[in-house]
Structure 1
Amino acid sequence: MGEKVRLTGKEKSELWFEGVVTVVLLLMLNYAVFVLLKELIASSQQLQDSIWSVKNVLTFGQDRQHLWSWRNVFMIFMFLLDVLVVYWRLIRRYRQIQMRHVIRELHYIADGHLDHRIQFKVNTDLQKVINSINALVDSTVNSMKEERRIESSKDELITNVSHDIRTPLTSIIGYLGLIEDQQYRSEDELIKYTHTAYLKAKQMKVLVEDLFEYTKVRQTTTPLNAVEFDMVAMLEQLAASFELEGHKHGLRFVVSGKPDPLMMQADTQKLGRVFNNLIANALKYGQGAKHIFLDAQKIGSEVVVKVSNDGAQIPNDSLSQLFDRFYRVEESRSQETGGTGLGLAIAQSIVTLHGGYIYADSSPELTSFVMHLPLRLGQTLKPAAPKKEA
């Protein structure tokens, strides 16, 4: 990782000065110790006899030349000790210089250069510190990006909510203003103005309720009331409850499942909200559809549920945005039908709370919303890339 710390000329001079000063001090210390030791030996007869005994043992040849005199032993020992001391002092000084470079890099990052990382190759202990610093900066940058994303998301939410509330509110105030100023020509016109204001008020109520539900299910701490139930039976009940409305749109429900019964664990109230949103979308926007298919299949440790219709295809470039808040494939049509643009976002959040995932798939023959749910709560499924049909 990275490169070694490059020393400046001043820092190299600092190392040389450290080495020279250390050598000079050691020479002075060695000389002082040598003199003291010599005086000590000269003043102690017993010590002289001991030294002489060592001399006699460590001699070779008839001329009895001393190979290891006490002076030579002392000099060799002190030389090795001096080398170790000089090495230790230089290494310590070099590491201090490395630390200064690291601190300088830290100040550079702290000045706002958060894309910069410390790339030095240093000793093991300091390397651990550098790695921790880089990881901390990465975490800080990611947290700042996430905070900016959340802030932007909040601003977008406020903007969209303000726009969607302002439109019906303007109509309500306008029609009630006409009534207040008695600008109507007949009782029928008065009833028409009142009825329009009432419908716009209901539209606002739906938006506020959807917004409240969305913010609630977006919280990861939202509790789930898990119960054991039969998914196939639930789909059949949903089909029966929407049968009359489907008949008005010329739609027939087809329910299938395998195995039957298909027992699983989930919060049926919240899952019911998901299916209600998906079926309501199919009724409103499935132009030309004749059938709504509800299918559940157990695959391994998960349940795959599809809500499909054989109506008009959703454009491919819209599929990835369907679950965005306030996104509408056709703005004018959604306004006519009173859609808030939060239904699919709520559905996605509820499915995520259960540890599953949801995506849309659309072809000229069939448009499907596919949910992958775990058989038991507590499991989290990893989203697989859905196969998109051209």
Structure 2
Amino acid sequence: MDPKKFARIYNTVSLGFIIVVIVTCILVILSIVNEWVQYLNYMILKLRRISEIQYVDDLDINGDDEFSELASSINVMSNKLKDNYEREKKIEKEKNDFIVAVSHDLRTPLTSIIGYLDLLKNEKIQSYEKTSEYIDITYRKAIDLKNLIEELFEYTKIENDYVSLEKVEFNIAILVNQILGEQMLFFKEKNINIEFESESNEIYCEIDIKKMVRIIENIINNVQKYSSPNTSFKVYIKEKEANVLISFENIGEHIKKDDLELIFEKMYRIDKSRSSQREGSGLGLAIARKLVEIHNGRLWAECEGNTIKFNILLPKTKGK
């Protein structure tokens, strides 16, 4: 074969091969780029939905490249946004429920006060006893209103971390016994017998005394309201390794297991009716739990049959 002709054929075949290789590479690159573009569009769509706070499933992660790493990061961000959104919704609902409950509890004594003042103002009451009775009721309702506002103010301070503790090492056994002695008269009205027992007369904790008194009084006030008459109220203190366990046990209406945590929520009442027959703001146990937690302790409730037990667990100190 003529060398020149062979060279032309060789060059033509080589050029054709090179063109085929180039075209193939271009097609492969276009295919890869197209996959990337589709994946990017897929991520952009998901990101748009996330920005509109729509719930989306996690992005599918394909391969182990930079795009996969980006998709994984987007999934983490999306889940955090979802959690934050759900938390904000819950907080908003709790805030609205709290406002409704507070409005009801403020309106109830206020309505009574206005009603009795209207009677005193507009009616010709001849009887001194009747006038005195109305004034007495109005005064009690005003005190209820004052106490409710004070508890709301205290709870708000605790909730927003505006509370500081002035801790001292103190004998918790003596403190509990002293508070029980001060409350004896109120329990006698319902013929409730108080029993107190402590493993030792000297059990020390590092506490803010005023705050701890408030914690114990709030629990005792709850016991007074909900204890059945002619029963016993038992308080005992035990040492549990590095902690102190203070238990308050009374007999009352059975509390369902699902309600045992709810009773520590603000404005929660088991009877659901928010009746004023049992006076109180519904904040006592919520305040008590918050204050216990600030002391690095725990407050929880147990119920077996009609026996209700409130437990406080506090860190123990060695004492003096």
Normalising by the residue count of structure 1, what TM-score does the alignment of the two structures yield?
A: 0.67
2:277 equivalent in structure 1: 336
Q: CA deviation at 1:366?
A: 3.2
Query: Which residue of 2 is the match for residue 273 of structure 1?
Result: 214
Q: Which residue of 2 aligns with 1:197?
A: 138
In structure 2, the residue matched to 1:304 is 245
**Structure 1 residues 199-245: Cα deviation after superposition (integer angstroms, max 9, x where no partner):** 11111111111211222222345322222122212212222222333
Q: CA deviation at 1:94?
A: 4.7
Larger RCO, structure (CA 8 Å, separation 6 or more): 2
CA distance in 2 between partners of 1:349 and 1:161 (Å)? 19
Of the candidates 77, 84, 99, which is equivalent to residue 40 of structure 2? 99
Give the Cα separation in 1 of the matches to 2:90 and 2:290. 18
Q: Radius of gyration: which is bigger?
A: 1
Q: Does 1:217 align with 2:152?
A: no
Q: Is the 8 A contact 1:98 1:122 kept in 2?
A: no
Could you tell me how far 1:116 is from its partner in structure 2? 2.8
Comparing 224-233 and 89-98, the one that deviates more: 89-98
- Aligned-partner SS, 2:277: helix
Alignment of 1:18-37 (within 5 A): none
Quick one: distance in 2 between partners of 1:281 and 1:123? 60
Cα distance per residue 1:341-377 (max 9 Å; x no partner): 211121122222223332222234632111223347x
- Whether the 8 Å contact between 2:205 and 2:314 is mirrored in structure 1 is no
Give the conservation status (yes or no) of the 8 Å contact 1:313–1:363: no
Aligned to 2:108: 167
Shift of 1:91: 5.3
How big is each residue's C-alpha offset from its partner over 1:157-200, in whole Å with a ceiling of 9 and x where there is no partner?
11111111111111111111122224323322222222221111
Cα separation, 2, equivalents of 1:107 and 1:323: 40
For 2:176, the equivalent position in structure 1 comes to 235
* Equivalent position of 2:5 in the other structure: none
User: Quick one: which amino acid aligns to residue 196 of structure 1?
Assistant: I
Does structure 2 conserve the Cα–Cα contact (< 8 Å) formed by 1:232 and 1:256? no
Find the partner of 1:124 among 48, 55, 65: 65
Q: Which whole-Å CA distance do the structure 1 matches of 2:272 and 2:51 have between them?
A: 46
What's the counterpart of residue 315 of structure 2? Answer: 374
Q: Distance in 2 between matches of 1:121 and 1:333?
A: 56
234-243 or 168-177: which moved more?
234-243
Q: What amino acid sits opposite 1:205 in the alignment? A: K
Across the aligned residues of Structure 1 and Structure 2, the Cα RMSD in angstroms comes to: 3.2
> Alignment partner for residue 350 of structure 1, among 283, 287, 291?
291
CA distance in 2, matches of 1:231, 1:307: 14
**Does the Cα contact within 8 Å between 2:190 and 2:229 map onto a contact in 1?**
no
Inter-partner Cα distance in structure 2 for 1:334 and 1:104: 52
Shift of 1:90: 6.7
**Of 185, 189, 193, the match for 1:252:** 193
- Corresponding residue SS for 1:256: strand
Q: Aligned residues: percent identity?
A: 27
Give the match for residue 255 of structure 2. Answer: 315
Q: Are the aligned partners of 2:192 and 2:231 in contact in 1 as well (CA < 8 Å)?
A: yes
Residue 316 of structure 1: SS of its match in structure 2? coil
Partner Cα separation in structure 1 for residue 121 and residue 249 of structure 2: 48
How far is 1:139 from its partner? 1.2
Deviations 1:82-130 (A, max 9, x none): 89x8778875665455333322332243344323321131333222221
Partner of 1:109: 50
Q: Distance in 2 between matches of 1:114 and 1:175?
A: 54
TM-score (norm 2): 0.80
Deviation at 1:156, TM superposition (A): 0.9
Aligned equivalents of 2:130 and 2:245: distance in 1? 52
For structure 2, the 5+ residue unaligned runs are 1-14
- Residue aligned with 2:237, SS: strand
